[in-house]
Structures are given as structure tokens and as C-alpha cells.
Structure 1
Amino acid sequence: MNLSKIHHIAIICSNYQVSKHFYTEILGLKIIQETYRESRDSYKLDLQIGENDQIELFSFPNPPARPTSPESCGLRHLAFQVDNVEVTVNQLRLRDVEVEPIRIDEITGKKFTFFRDPDDLPLEIYEK
């Protein structure tokens, strides 16, 4: 088996327009392609992170709720690497995004913190 990298992260949102605004306007991710899938009454928005990474943002009619606590079974959180955590925190707060206090990873000594997307998905910024 030769798993060489993660191709994409898929997120199902409850309100497509709100999440599209959050990921493109607040987080500044570039739209690669937006597709409306009529047979599913669903949008698929491909977003670029850095040079090679992608998030696929999906909408579906009435998706079931999912536990989002960081300690729930399943995906714990999605982490973005940034050059400077303080600068990124300030940029998020200027866009009215609540951000937890900055912490230091006790293993690596790197700065990190968490915030949440419109569906309460925990997102992390981690210093390079």
C-alpha cells in the first residue's frame, strides 16, 4: 500500500451560503470549482489550501446533526498550519470569529489555538 498524502477533507454544512462565506471570505480559501448537483439538491464547493490541499464543502437537504465535541468519536478537528498564530488570531477576531486563548503544545513547544466554523466544527491553527 502506498498512501502518499491526503487528497482532500470533506465537510457537510447545514447552511451552504453561510459556510461558503466563512471558508472563502473569512478564511480566504480560493474556490477551485463550484458544482450544483441537481439530482441530490446539493452543492459541492472545492476549496484550495496552500499549493496542493483541498477542502470539499458539501450541502445536503436536512443533514443529521453530529457531535462536535473535540473528544467525540470520529474526526476530532481540522488543523491549518500558519506562519504566526497571533497574527492569524487577530485576523479572525477582526472578522468576528471567536477564538480560544493561544496555548503551547507541550510536546513540540509550538503555539496553537481553536475556533469553530458555522456548524460548530472545531478548527485549529497551528504555528509552523
Structure 2
Amino acid sequence: MYFAITLDRKTAGPIIIACRKGGTSIEDLAEKFPDMIVKVPIDVFEGITDEDAAKVVDGLAPKVADRNQSIEQVKNLYKLFVDSDCTLLEINPMAETADNQLVAADAKLNFDDNAAYRQKEIFKLRDTTQEDPRE
């Protein structure tokens, strides 16, 4: 599965993009499986609601063992995105365990350079060799 929170130019706010398929780029997934892509814009003033998070969970894995726990996971990922001044939080793939729990198998986070003064601990960990100049 693919899961990301990024900034959307159209809505001028955060958007969650998710797909049941994962392990490849979202562009490839959107081309091959456009009907499986879930997009949930988040109101920047209201923040993520239970309804927003439920749309994501239901779009990703309708058979999760604990739907409410998965909704809380999505809300916590959004909190991480906001509190850490992320411009991208991407989990690819997000895996489903044998007992139907969702776990992050790999993740990528990009942070707003303008927030370096607020996120000193995060920016201390910066490894410029891992950065892609195209991003």
C-alpha cells in the first residue's frame, strides 16, 4: 500500500494520497490503478477529522482488524506531518500484517527548510547525500 501526506497547490493545504497498491512510485500507481487512488484534502484550519481519516482507512484496507486504531494511526501521522513542519510524509510500502494491522515498511519525510529554526533536532540529522536535487 502507498500512503502520503503532502501539500496540494490546488487546495493550498495538506492532502492525503493513498492506494491499496504500493512498492512503486505514485505516478506509476496512478497510471495503472487510477480508481484505487484515494485523495483526501485536509482543511488546514480544522485539521484532520475522524471522517477524513476513515476515508483513508476504508480506501486502503477495509478489513483492518481494528478500524478505529487505524483511523487513529492516520490522525497521528497527520499530527507528525504538522508538528514536524513536513512538506512530505510518504510510506511506501505500507504493509498489512497477518492479523490485519497496518505498519510502515519504509518511509520518507521531507521538511520545510524555512522551519529549521523550529526543528533544530530534526535538521541536525540532515544527510545531504540522501537528498535528490529534483525535489
Structure with a larger share of its residues in strand: 1
Q: How does the TM-score come out when normalised to structure 1?
A: 0.26
Q: How does the TM-score come out when normalised to structure 2?
A: 0.25
Structure with a larger share of its residues in helix: 2
